[in-house]
Amino acid sequence: MLTLIGGIILLIVGYFTYGKYIEKNFEPVTDRKTPAEVLRDNLDFVPMPKWKNGIIELLNIAGTGPIFGPIMGALYGPVAYIWIIFGCIFAGAVHDYMLGMVSLRNNGDQLPALAGRYIGKVAKHLVNLFACLLLLLVGTVFVTSPANLIQQALPFESNLEVIIILIFIYYLISTVLPIDQAIGKVYPWFGAILILSTIAIGITLFFSGYTMPELSPATLQNFHPKGLAIFPGMFFTISCGAMSGFHATQAPMVSRTMTDEQEGHFTFYGMMIAEGVIAMIWAAAAMSLFNGQTLSEMIDAGTASVVVDAVSKMLLGNVLGTVAILGVIVLPISSGLSAFRSLRIILADYLNIKQDTLTKVMTITLPVYVISYFLTKVDFNILWRYFNWANQVTAVLALLVTTRYLFLKGKNYWVTLVPGAFMLYACVVYIFSEPIGFNLGLSMISYIGGLIVTVILLAVYWQQGVKQKREMDPSSTLLHDEWPILTRNPELAKNN
């Protein structure tokens, strides 16, 4: 219990201390016009209030990640708490804030466009590939996982295929509606369900009588029943609860609805801290209610949704437990919708297809849903494995983009470079060791070879950055952020 309470307190303190430092380092300008105001199109660029942007950001980034991930991460034991707490404060929340704010300074551009602007054209194409792959996988995962939860929650026998199709129909309708109608009106209700259900699980867990494993020298070891190594496995398993590249595709969408740069600390950094709190509660619940072997068997028998169902009903009973499950269901549904919407925006920007008619919107949207539907036929655990790797590679790319932004502007870039370098090493080791890569296992070749490759990649990245800054025109907008937002609208540029 002390670990859970202490962890939540640390997350909150991190928000008011390190989060404020990150904000000060970026230097938001309160009277600067935002993309929502200058580029308003009543589809994606729509001004919305701070509280609503915060809820939308939380639901966008949450998905089943801060629940499924920590549940599976709980297999490693209390050591999982460390990555959730410190990963969230020093990596995940920094990642979300910086990418969201850089997007806000650049027309609300998505990650591929930002990579092209700050790193180069090759990076733009590479990031576009990973972002699209990630969003397609995320959207698919967040169709199958809520479908499984809904099927388990229904009091009568139901067809999983029908549930999946109904979710796709909801996504399709919502993807083509203006953001303030599709998301702005529904998400506050989803947010209320999520918050209340999380509080209910947390409070009930405190008074349930179950023994919560505490973090101590004796428990600071690997308890995974299958003996899977903590590094890099745990850092991929617990992603959305600590650091996730998926967030880099969601923050720009919210940057298109903000009206004040000062909102960033609450909307981007703060909502990631909130996600960390959710992750702590579910990791504690999984460790408290089940031993590692039982937890592993439950996950292997289905997905982590089996554990969610069991935890909710064991702590809250059948009726309130079902209500809590609804709180979990809204997470993947909201994030799945946001994933497909972001994918439409990225593809439209990349292919230069202006989203000003329903025909153009559907031209991109329909093929995406068809591909995703066929991906739902793939085993969930396989999808999750590929999603994890693509997710963290995208996070690394986002951190490298924001590091370059800070470097060019003469600010403290170590705050993004350090977590970026750490996760780059984890990604390289993962691809060396896992079957989806070179399948070398966690051998010395994987660890040492991964370190060598990581150092080489970072050296090339650093050299290019130094050259870019040395050759840059002192008046470049990359240095001064001189209203690049107006370049998309010549008429507005004349009047400003």
The answer to which of 261-265, 297-301, 492-496 has the lowest mean pLDDT is 492-496
Q: DSSP class of residue 261?
A: G
| Residue 302 banded pLDDT, cuts 50, 70, 90 | low
Q: Where are the alpha helices (DSSP H) in 238-291?
A: 247-255, 264, 271-289
Greater pLDDT, 150 or 184 = 150
pLDDT average, residue stretch 389-409: 93
C-alpha to C-alpha distance for 311 and 302, rounded to whole angstroms: 15
| Residue 485 banded pLDDT, cuts 50, 70, 90 | low
pLDDT digits (tens, 9 = 90+) for 90-118: 999 999 999 999 999 999 999 999 999 89
Q: Which three-class secondary structure state does DSSP give residue 349?
A: helix
pLDDT average, residue stretch 272-288: 94
C-alpha to C-alpha distance for 405 and 481, rounded to whole angstroms: 10
pLDDT exceeds cutoff 50 at 313: yes
Q: Is 178 left (phi over 0), alpha (psi -120 to 50) or beta?
A: beta
Cis peptide before 232 (omega within 30 of 0): yes
The answer to which of 122-126, 410-414, 421-425 has the lowest mean pLDDT is 122-126
Cβ–Cβ under 8 Å, residues 258 and 110: no
Q: Which three-class secondary structure string do you get for 125-161?
A: HHHHHHHHHHHHHHHHHHHHHHHHHHHHHCCCCCCHH
How much is the pLDDT for 384? 65
How much is the pLDDT for 381? 66
What type of residue sits at position 106?
N
pLDDT digits (tens, 9 = 90+) for 203-220: 999 888 888 889 999 999
How much is the pLDDT for 63? 62
What share of the chain in percent tops pLDDT 70?
94
Q: Which token pair is 256?
A: 């298109």
Q: DSSP class of residue 222?
A: -
pLDDT exceeds cutoff 50 at 465: yes
How much is the pLDDT for 337? 81
C-alpha to C-alpha distance for 232 and 225, rounded to whole angstroms: 16
How much is the pLDDT for 461? 96
Residue found under tokens 């997470």? 331
**Mean model confidence pLDDT for the chain:** 87
Going along the chain from its start, the domains and CATH numbers come out as 2-386 (1.20.1740.10)
Burial class (CB within 10 angstroms; exposed 0-12, middle 13-18, buried 19+) of 475: exposed
Q: Which three-class secondary structure state does DSSP give residue 46?
A: coil
b/e burial code for range 311-326 (CB count within 10 A of at least 16 → b): bbbebbeeebbbbbbb
Q: Which token pair is 187?
A: 């998400």
Greater pLDDT, 157 or 368 = 368
C-alpha to C-alpha distance for 179 and 46, rounded to whole angstroms: 7
